[in-house]
Amino acid sequence: MEQKELKSLLQQVADGSLSVEQAMLRIKLSPYTDIGFAKLDDHRAVRQGIAEVIYGAGKTPEQIRDIAAVLLDRGQKLVLITRMSEEAAELTGKTLPLKYHQLGKIGIIGEMPVPDGAGNIVVATGGTSDMPVAEEAAITAEALGNPVVRLYDVGVAGLHRLLSHAEELMIAKVIIAIAGMEGALASVIGGLSDVPVIAVPTSIGYGASFGGLSALLSMLNSCASGVSVVNIDNGFGAGYLASMINHLGDKA
């Protein structure tokens, strides 16, 4: 049950079209579904406004397929699967209407929502090599109801590429800055914009980048105000957080 459905249910009780007992029965459904190898959080959408997402890494293709099927059976309208392998996508797609985004390793079952966020989320990358993480962030944000603008390969090695997109940066509501190497892109964007910047360090770079640690530390030590940082290669976390920021007006 999602928050909108719960509000509708309470409204029906208030206007008398649904009895208290009927409403209680629908709400009293188990807060989770135990399928043996996993306990699926049916009430997460009520608590957080966003239904459970399947993290595909470390799960077998069969587990991913079965979890997705149960979530759909329990009424979840859209199932998002991150870090999904091609093998898992092939198996799941045999029985469920899966759309697989190979670059971002994301699977989606169900219709993408009509965007209802306050404005655009800009996803910018330092280089083309950062695009897999960027697509994970962008598709996550889109699946959560946000319009997304992609600005790829606009890193500081050619700053004019970024500056040519100044208008997109200025009108954005949230910006996700994704970069490896030394991770300078987040600081530059933070110094150009007046909206929250979510920095994502990637594991792209030569040996001394230490698998993204160099970019992570650079972003954490950014001198630009308004920059927050998620974990290395965590495009999903950035897209999720950006969506929460972009929907804050819903709580007003």
73 plus 137 within the same structural domain? no
Residue 114 in any domain: the answer is no
Residue in 139, 131, 221 with CA at minimum distance from that of residue 178: 131
227 plus 136 within the same structural domain? yes
Residue 127 in any domain: the answer is yes
186 plus 73 within the same structural domain? no
- How many domains does the chain divide into? 3
Q: Which two tokens stand for residue 83?
A: 């870090």
What was the pLDDT predicted at 12?
Answer: 82
185 plus 201 within the same structural domain? yes
The C-alpha atoms of residue 128 and residue 179 are separated, in whole angstroms, by 10
Residue 54 in any domain: the answer is yes
Residue 57 in any domain: the answer is yes
64 plus 156 within the same structural domain? no
Q: Count the helices and strands in the chain (H runs, E runs).
A: 11, 11
90 plus 175 within the same structural domain? no
Of the residues 52, 75, 109, which one is the last residue of a structural domain? Answer: 109
* Residue that the structure tokens 């135990």 belong to: 34
What was the pLDDT predicted at 1?
Answer: 53
Pairing of strands 227-229, 197-201: parallel
* Residue that the structure tokens 């008398």 belong to: 16
What was the pLDDT predicted at 60?
Answer: 95
Can you give the CATH number for the domain in which 186 is found? 3.40.50.1970
CB–CB of 163/141 below 8 Å?
no
Of the residues 89, 109, 129, which one is the last residue of a structural domain? Answer: 109
Q: What residue numbers bound the domain in which 71 lies?
A: 31-109
What was the pLDDT predicted at 5?
Answer: 66
* Residue that the structure tokens 């989770």 belong to: 32
In terms of C-beta density within 10 A (0-12 exposed, 13-18 middle, 19 or more buried), how is residue 189 classed? buried
pLDDT tens by residue, 174-213: 999 999 999 999 999 999 999 999 999 999 999 999 999 9
What was the pLDDT predicted at 33?
Answer: 75
130 plus 147 within the same structural domain? yes
Residue 116 in any domain: the answer is no
pLDDT tens by residue, 153-166: 999 989 999 999 99
99 plus 146 within the same structural domain? no
15 plus 65 within the same structural domain? no
Would you give per-residue pLDDT tens digits along the chain (252 residues)? 556 666 777 888 888 887 887 777 666 555 777 778 888 777 777 677 778 889 999 999 999 999 999 888 887 889 999 999 999 999 999 999 999 999 999 999 998 999 988 899 999 999 999 999 999 999 999 999 999 999 999 999 899 999 999 999 999 999 999 999 999 999 999 999 999 999 999 999 999 999 999 999 999 999 999 999 999 999 999 999 999 999 987 655
CB–CB of 55/85 below 8 Å?
no
48 plus 156 within the same structural domain? no
82 plus 182 within the same structural domain? no
Q: Which two tokens stand for residue 139?
A: 């598709």
Residue type, 85: S
Residue 6 in any domain: the answer is yes
What was the pLDDT predicted at 25?
Answer: 66
Angle at 45 between CA 39 and CA 50, to 5 degrees: 110
Residue 115 in any domain: the answer is no
146 plus 97 within the same structural domain? no
Residue 9 in any domain: the answer is yes
